[in-house]
Amino acid sequence: MKNIYLDNAATTPILPEVIDTIYQHMISVYGNPSSTHQIGRKAKSLVETARKNIAKYFNATASEIVFTAGGSEADNLIIKNAVTNLGVTTIISSKIEHHAVLHTIENLEKNFEIDVKWVDLDKNGNIDYQHLEKLLKQDNSRKLVSLMYVNNEIGNLLDVKKVCDLCVENKALFHSDAVQAVGHFKFDVRETPIDFFVASAHKFHGPKGVGFAYIKKGFGIFPILHGGEQERGARAGTENVHSILGMEKALEIAYTNLESETEYIQSLKSYFIQKLKENFEEIDFNGLSENETKSSYIILNVRFPKEYAMLLFNLDLKGIAVSGGSACQSGSNKGSHVLNTILIEEEAKKTSVRFSFSKFITKEDLDYVITVLKRLIV
């Protein structure tokens, strides 16, 4: 049976070169970076070199990169600090953010005297930038805007530059969950002066359990984990040395090959859209995922004409791995909070499938998926 992995927005296969980097350093670099002897200093040196190398891809400085256990921890670190440390009393976000953002905001709202305001969205899940500006100008409170760079379910791209400009103009802080963007899109924190963003290595063919927060120079960050002074006091806990080095390698490969891989994966997505339209009537695409310039080239969210309760299960039986929404909420029977927000009830009840692509997929793989779908969609 074929195995076709089309759930790369959930996680990506680790590259062989990354596995080799991790393996070699697990053997040779076993010291604790906090130790003062030469074995510890060697580990510390490699971690700091990785920090510097990762920072350069975003035109950031090494001191602006804080290593974490992934995107969710990094989101928590930044958003909680905004309220408890940086004087934020109003948070502006959208109802289609990742739960790492939404649930953190909900927790803060319960425990602190803050106002939470939700920016309006159109039927495709696009931010209403005029409404965002209105919310920013509503009062003089210290504000944090938290909007994701690429939506993990429908692939919509945020106009990060526009949001940055609005935040600078209105003296607000800007945080973006960029987990679906880092390693897939270039961005420069000097040209687009974002205050905070987060990344997770397993979204760009790196290891799970490691990521980082970008925190613009000048913001003092208090830890949410206590017990040590690692990461310049921002995060307690011995650094995950081999995973950090694996993340560094994965990011190097991602940005070295970015143009060719973007072109190839976009061609796969365009081919799949064409084949879907040729073979199925009345299908639709959620958000802007069909649009080549306004969505991630990795994500395509397809809405079928009715409910097919067993579609994901039956695709899995045929060796095709896809998602009905965010894999981060697997096991939930509530459906996608993103689709439930932007679609009318009748449309939200229809079966939607997120296909997310990588460089390891071929057009022949997609032909097989179409063949299987034709048998299942009746």
Q: DSSP letter for 70, please.
A: S
Of 227, 256, 285, which closes a domain? 256
For residue 34, the SS3 value is coil
Q: What is the DSSP string of 205-241?
A: T--SS-EEEEE-TT-----SS-S--TGGGT--S---H
pLDDT per position as a tens digit, 42-60: 999 999 999 999 999 999 9
pLDDT per position as a tens digit, 317-361: 999 999 985 444 444 457 899 999 999 999 999 999 999 999 999
The two tokens of residue 364 are 């022949």
Q: Give yes or no: residues 153 and 174 share one domain.
A: yes
Q: Give yes or no: residues 194 and 301 share one domain.
A: no
Of 194, 223, 256, which closes a domain? 256
Prediction pTM value: 0.95
Q: Give yes or no: residues 61 and 144 share one domain.
A: yes
At residue 341, the pLDDT reads: 95
Q: Give yes or no: residues 175 and 308 share one domain.
A: no
CATH code of the domain in which 337 resides? 3.90.1150.10
Q: Give yes or no: residues 294 and 202 share one domain.
A: no
At residue 378, the pLDDT reads: 76
Q: Give yes or no: residues 276 and 164 share one domain.
A: no
Q: Give yes or no: residues 99 and 178 share one domain.
A: yes
- Choose, from 225, 328, 370, 376, the residue flagged as catalytic: 328
Domain that holds residue 263: 4-12+258-376
Q: Give yes or no: residues 313 and 225 share one domain.
A: no
Q: Give yes or no: residues 63 and 129 share one domain.
A: yes
Q: Give yes or no: residues 346 and 371 share one domain.
A: yes
Nearest to 21 by CA among 221, 248, 220, 185: 248
Rg (CA), the chain: 21
CATH code of the domain in which 203 resides? 3.40.640.10
Return the C-alpha torsion angle 253, 258, 262, 265, nearest 10.
-10
pLDDT per position as a tens digit, 75-127: 999 999 999 999 999 999 999 999 999 999 999 999 999 999 999 999 999 99
167 is catalytic: no
pLDDT over 90 for what percent of the chain?
Answer: 95
Nearest to 200 by CA among 350, 320, 71: 71
Q: Give yes or no: residues 244 and 281 share one domain.
A: no
User: Phi, psi (5° rounding) for residue 325?
Assistant: 180, -140
Q: How many residues does the chain have?
A: 378
Q: Give yes or no: residues 230 and 304 share one domain.
A: no
